[in-house]
Amino acid sequence: MDRLVVSAASILRLAPHIVFRFDETRQRWIMMAPERLMLPDEQAVEILQLMDGQTGVGTIIDTLAARYSQAPRELIARDVTAMLQDLADKGVLADGVTD
C-alpha cells in the first residue's frame, strides 16, 4: 500500500471503518478509528463536514476562504492540506475516486 499524498486536486472521503459522529454524552464531535479516538477541533470538524467523497480539496479550501474572508486563502490552503495529510497518514482518509 502506498502513502496517500494530499494535494488541492485530491478528492477524499473517510476510510471505511472510520466513524465521525456527534457524541451526545460529551456534546462534541468525535472520530473513531481502530483503537483510536480522535477529538477534532472546531476547524477540523468544519473541514471533515465538507468532505463528502466528491468535492475536491481545492473546492473545500475555496469554501472556507469565502467563509473566512479575513484570512489569506494561501494560509487556509496550507492549514487544510497539512491537516488532511496528517489524517491520511493516520489511515483515516481514503481516495474518493478509486476506492
Partner 1 sequence: MASRIEPPLALLAEVTHRCPLRCPYCSNPIELDRASHELPEQEWRRVLTQAAALGVLQVHFSGGEPMVRRDLAALIGEASRCGLYSNLITSGTLGGERELQTFAAAGLKHVQLSFQDSTSNGGDRIAGLPRAHEKKIAFAKAVRAVGLPLTLNVVVHRQNVAGLAEMIEMAVALQARRIEIAHVQYYGWALANRGALLPTREQLDAATGLVETTRERLKGVLTIDYVVPDYYAVRPKSCMNGWGRQFLNVTPAGKVVPCHAAQTIADLVVPSVRDGSLADIWYHSEAFNRFRGTGWMPEPCRSCDRREIDWGGCRCQAFLLAGDASRADPVCSLSPDHSIIETARQEAQSLSHAFAYRHYG
CB 76 → partner 1: shortest distance, Å? Answer: 23
Please name which of 15, 16, 89, 8 lies closest in space to residue 56, comparing C-alpha atoms.
Answer: 8
For partner 1, the binding residues in 14-53 under the rule CB under 8 A are 15-17, 19, 21, 23, 25-26, 30, 32, 34-35, 37
CB 36 → partner 1: shortest distance, Å? Answer: 9
Do 49 and 63 meet the contact criterion of CB atoms below 8 Å apart? no
Asked if residue 1 binds partner 1 (CB under 8 A), the reply is: yes
Asked if residue 69 binds partner 1 (CB under 8 A), the reply is: no
CB 35 → partner 1: shortest distance, Å? Answer: 6
What region, left, alpha or beta, does residue 52 occupy, with left being phi > 0 and alpha being psi -120 to 50 degrees? alpha
CA–CA dist 80, 8 (Å, integer): 9
